[in-house]
Chain A
């Protein structure tokens, strides 16, 4: 009998079917990897398993040890023996290792914590994992790798039978990965079932008994790892027709507008860690350059650094229309004709409680009204122009941005940058979380802008989008440029191979 069975799991968000009849199973002592592109539904599937999405909000059954489960909260799932270790750690940095392991479950009587018992139990757990960590150390003093292992100790303290690891090695060094794998092998021998989510196919093949591939919210297939090859898995991951939603328009290129030389960017918290490594590229008038890569490949960091908005250290040279420019703030970038439709419009793009007008004129305000005084009439005209040219569906420029749908919000952000009259426009995940209709409108707009001579650099996690829109595709892997393809050369397989860093195919 399977330890875990997920049957016909379906989960819908407004306008999107994130999971569509996914089936997945896990036996005791099995190491089962879950792979797929960004947005394939891996995380959503794990969130239904862990009770983040409560019973009733999804379709299908979750069966643990033959019993259908109805998790209402994360705690319910934990009680059923399911523990998840997310990519972003969920430890409290100020508390000690022991306190973190028993957070919310402290051995206590009448609310008074028995510290001796807590630390003794914590020591034992750490020893079982062969970890030489003092349970009294504050978690913040540990490296990321050790923190990850503490997370695992925490999961085991809850007697987890099923351990879900979401990209656990993303921040680890090689030796830390080795330690982790040793521990995982050990746990496997103890009968813990493990679901392993990773983009790193080497690791997946080294550890897995079975591999399941998800694509567009559906299970593509489950096979024994020994029956598969990396190439096969990659083709299963991307095996999808690039649909007709991408208008086939030939762009005509002009002069080089933007050139980047040897750009490096460092982590803000950890100034020794490079997130972008010696990246050089250029983009011509009227050209759309797509930047592909997996999560954490350094794509947003690259754009942020060029734009003068990266909070950490960065270095490199930027040339606009052949002239070297110094950009140390977004204001400098705007002055030099660079616009940036940032990712996560609610966090970085919009002031949600302000109107369409206030939002759309924010970046280009001084260009629209001058340096000192605002002018409602001029701003109204500018906002109306944005609304009509981008088809923003709202009653008036005074509609509050927060009440708009995702697609319309995205159009307002795009409009905001068009009002700065840019020569180069950066787009970071321009269609994330918006419905298909709005996506198509944004695609059409990107093509239209390229035709008018705007140079466009687009980061997207959706491979079909990058392939469908770009004239040239750059691929980043762990901060390095690992591939460059023209539109005709690029195939999903080639891009994915470069993005997973399987081989260097720099042209």
Chain B
């Protein structure tokens, strides 16, 4: 009697819709800064700098997005980042351990904390907001305690390379070629799958056509980075993390469960999904990424300060939300979160170039965050 059959087959999911809107917004922001800075904003040197600035937030946003997908949150990542970085610096500089044990310890600390947060949230039903708000305070206290509130310098040059080094232009091109081959391979496999599973003819030509844009972006990106000093190492690590994150959310059963738990946790539970274990896993995964981000962050700074990473959680959450994630869970993409991180970094970078005063920068960034979500809400109603 009241059958609702969708009229047109093609429909953009709401979360990708916001991501596309944000892509448009980012282009506008870039053009605005390009115009205002007499072209400085879009020079290879500045773009390389911009990417470098976003890499730590970007890595954190990838992990945060997966947590947000389940309808949870982590407010403690700034403090955990500070603690993990501090642990690495103390082991390396003060205790004389090698590079690898120090890194391993930093990552282990962050993962164990993630597991603890996930465990308290999933198995003790303490709201994630509270667990990680407690973490925000406690882990900051921990780093101040073990560092005796002093900044620990990093003297090991190899450590610094992770945050400050670039790969050579030639290696950049090698990576570009690998990436392009990979894109073509995916397109070919997609076309083949259509045929193998009887969903239609293998339309290899059509699939190849769709690879033009990503290949263009890869070549353009490497070209711009090589025109400066080559791809910065943190940026490369961020891109790998983003790629793995996309793979996890799009192509694994674990990723599917994250969306299901956030979309309707009762339905997920009754469908046989162990919601608790998956929440535990996603916090552990976020912990892993905080550990990686902490190493890069400390390496970039060249030292581990007791206040390292303050407010990083808010940057990561803002990036996810600007990129289309819903804090209620079930909605959001890694691509969107990375785009959100890039927009935030662009604003920071552009406004600094324009010498916009600090207080004004904060006012503008806060307004843009609220406006982005507000526009989305208005769009949804109409």
Contacts and interface: CB of A to CB of B under 8 A. Distances in A.
Contact of B198 (A331, A375, A381): A381
A333 B270 CA distance: 10
B313 to A, nearest CB: 26
B266 A377 contact: no
Given A15-B1, A373-B251, A394-B6, A334 B272 contact: yes
Interface string B226-264: 000000000000000000000000111111100110011
A349 interface: yes
B9 A395 contact: yes
Contact of B270 (A309, A399, A404): A309
Interface string A423-462: 0000000000001110000000000000000000000000
Interface stretch (A20-28, A36-44, A362-370): A362-370
Contact of B5 (A351, A393, A400): A393
Most central of B256, B264, B273 by chain A CB within 10 Å: B264
Nearest to B194: A377
Given A329-B272, A395-B5, A396-B9, A374 B266 contact: no
A350 B268 CA distance: 9
A330 B3 contact: no
Most central of B4, B8, B254, B255 by chain A CB within 10 Å: B4
Interface in B321-360: 330-331
Contact of B271 (A376, A378, A407, A416): A416
A301 interface: no
B11 interface: yes
B6 A362 contact: no
A358 B259 contact: yes
A135 to B, nearest CB: 33
Interface string B188-210: 00000110111100000000000
Given A15-B2, A351-B330, A365-B253, A381 B272 contact: no
A112 B57 CA distance: 49
B199 A380 contact: yes
A403 B268 CA distance: 20
A354 B263 contact: yes
B6 A403 contact: yes
Contacts of B196: 377
A342 interface: yes
Contacts, number: 119
Contacts of A403: 4, 6
A331 B253 contact: no
Contacts of A373: 251-253
Chain A interface size range: 35 or more
B267 interface: yes
A399 B3 CA distance: 13
A330 B272 contact: yes
Contacts of B150: none
A437 B1 contact: yes
Interface string B260-301: 100110111111111000000000000000000000000000
A110 interface: no
A66 B267 CA distance: 50
Nearest to B264: A351
Nearest to A366: B253
B3 A393 contact: yes
A67 interface: no
Contact of A329 (B1, B193, B274, B330): B274
A399 B5 CA distance: 9
Nearest to B5: A393
A111 interface: no
B253 A394 contact: no
Contact of B199 (A14, A15, A340, A377): A377
Contacts of B250: 374
Contacts of B272: 329-331, 333-334, 363, 420
A404 B14 CA distance: 17
A245 to B, nearest CB: 15
A209 to B, nearest CB: 40
A435 B4 CA distance: 13
B256 A365 contact: yes
Contact of B2 (A309, A329, A334, A435): A435
Contacts of A348: 266-267, 270
A353 interface: yes
B4 A404 contact: yes
A350 B255 contact: no
Contact of A374 (B5, B255, B263): B255
A375 B196 CA distance: 12
Contacts of B5: 393-395
Contacts of A394: 5-6
Given A309-B269, A408-B3, A353 B331 contact: yes
Contact of B263 (A349, A353, A366, A436): A353
A331 B273 contact: yes
Given A351-B264, A353-B330, A395-B6, A363 B1 contact: no
A352 B198 CA distance: 28
A438 to B, nearest CB: 9
Interface of A: 14-15, 307, 309, 329-331, 333-334, 340, 342, 347-354, 358, 362-363, 365-366, 369-378, 380-381, 393-396, 398-400, 403-405, 407-408, 416, 420, 435-437
Given A363-B271, A377-B199, 20 more contacts: A14-B1, A307-B270, A331-B272, A347-B264, A347-B267, A348-B267, A351-B268, A352-B264, A358-B259, A366-B253, A371-B253, A372-B254, A374-B255, A375-B193, A377-B197, A381-B197, A396-B9, A399-B11, A400-B11, A404-B4
30 contacts: A15-B2, A309-B269, A309-B270, A329-B274, A330-B272, A333-B272, A340-B270, A347-B266, A349-B270, A351-B268, A354-B259, A354-B330, A362-B273, A363-B272, A365-B253, A366-B253, A370-B253, A372-B252, A374-B252, A374-B253, A377-B196, A380-B199, A381-B199, A394-B5, A395-B6, A398-B11, A399-B6, A400-B11, A416-B271, A435-B2
